[in-house]
Amino acid sequence: MDRFNYQDLKNEEEFLRLPELDSPSIVRYVDFAEDIHFGYLVLQLCEYTLEEYIQDHLPDDTAERTLVLKKLVKEVLCSLQVLHDQKTKVLHRDIKPQNVLIDIKGKARLADFGISRRLKQGETTIRTSIAGTRCWKAKENINEKVNTGYKRSSDIQVAGMLVYYILSGGHHPFGEDVDCEYNVLRGRYSLQHLDDDVAKDLVEWMINENPNERPTVEQTLTHPFFWTDDRRVRYLKILGNEKEAENCRNADEELLKAISKHTEGKSFSEWKNKLPSELVQKLDGKKKAYPENTLGLLRFIRNLHEHYLEDAESINLMASFPDLFGSVFSLAKERGWNSRASLKKFFSSAPQI
């Protein structure tokens, strides 16, 4: 790098030398050298930027591609977790596709800490002149030219834009070019390139225009988007034990109306026709038949796993009803059920994917 950007280079070297950044999630520092004209920062070998990888190197197989994209999202957030840790206290301030590198094993790592800053003990905000890249700035950092306040939540909003960029195959939630920052300032976004309601929920949480409403990076990693199928089924089983599902045969009209918004056109709207008829008859015959709505299905799932485990293990619920979890999660969030003690535990630890 030439002398014009020398200070940014030295700043990056300083950060990469921090013991706290010696992590598998951060691009590894190797060496630094300089002459009268240039400075040279030597980093571990990486094959692509995230931008290059998304454009030209994703798997063709849809299922494999989905898994790779989810893995990339988690790796980027794990990188940010290292920076935001209470011991590290680093704000990246320039998160964008070009500043995520993909190593030779296909792992994503945050890089380019030239304009990063470290919070002092007890600090939550750093004030400097404006920093970052156009279209990759948080709302609160766009118009202020001097004395601009940067927080962890500022990184989070931009990381949310990057999560959408990854999952959508290269699109920006606030649009492209001249309209992008205008849309960020007004909270106008589109998630049209995402079909997964759970992924949409994660992105919307992160790009919230109110910094105080955005999650911490730790909270993003516990989001249901990252849950395994087994964890999602366990969540559905617990919901099936809640009073609303237990009372599925006598649910009140207001609840049924709210549920219908999450059911129309979904794979589970006529769920009895998509499960083995002998299994449905076996459980229906024990009491009054289960209603063919979401509450009835949740109660069916609970009782199936509670009393007919062998039958339960023969059914892949996530494959039979691919949109069930997302719809039920959205309903439970809307109704405030996820804050109950029986369900709250699902959101307190980050599962592996």
Tens digit of pLDDT for each residue in 210-260?
999 999 999 999 999 999 999 999 999 999 999 999 999 999 999 999 999
Provide the sign of the torsion angle of the four alpha carbons 308, 309, 315, 320, taken in this order: positive
Write out the two tokens for 190.
């589109």
Strands 108-110 and 90-91: unpaired
Mean model confidence pLDDT for the chain: 89
DSSP state, residue 289: P
The ranges of the chain annotated as CATH 1.10.510.10 are 47-223
Residue 168, phi then psi, degrees to nearest 5: -90, -5
Give CATH for domain 47-223: 1.10.510.10
pLDDT category of residue 24 using cuts at 50, 70 and 90: confident
Helix (H, G, I), strand (E, B) or coil at 190: coil
Q: What is the pTM of this model?
A: 0.90
pLDDT of 271 strictly over 60: yes
List, in sequence order, every residue forming a beta bridge with 91; answer none if it has no partner. Answer: 117
pLDDT of 7 strictly over 70: no
Q: What is the pLDDT of residue 2?
A: 45
The rounded distance, in Å, linking the Cα atoms of 168 and 181 is: 19
Give CATH for domain 229-347: 1.20.1440.180
Q: What is the pLDDT of residue 38?
A: 73
Residue located via tokens 């011991």 = 87
Q: What is the pLDDT of residue 18?
A: 72
What percent of the chain has pLDDT above 90? 72
**Mean pLDDT, residues 35-52:** 77
Q: What is the pLDDT of residue 12?
A: 59
The ranges of the chain annotated as CATH 1.20.1440.180 are 229-347
- Amino acid identity of 321? F
pLDDT category of residue 4 using cuts at 50, 70 and 90: very low
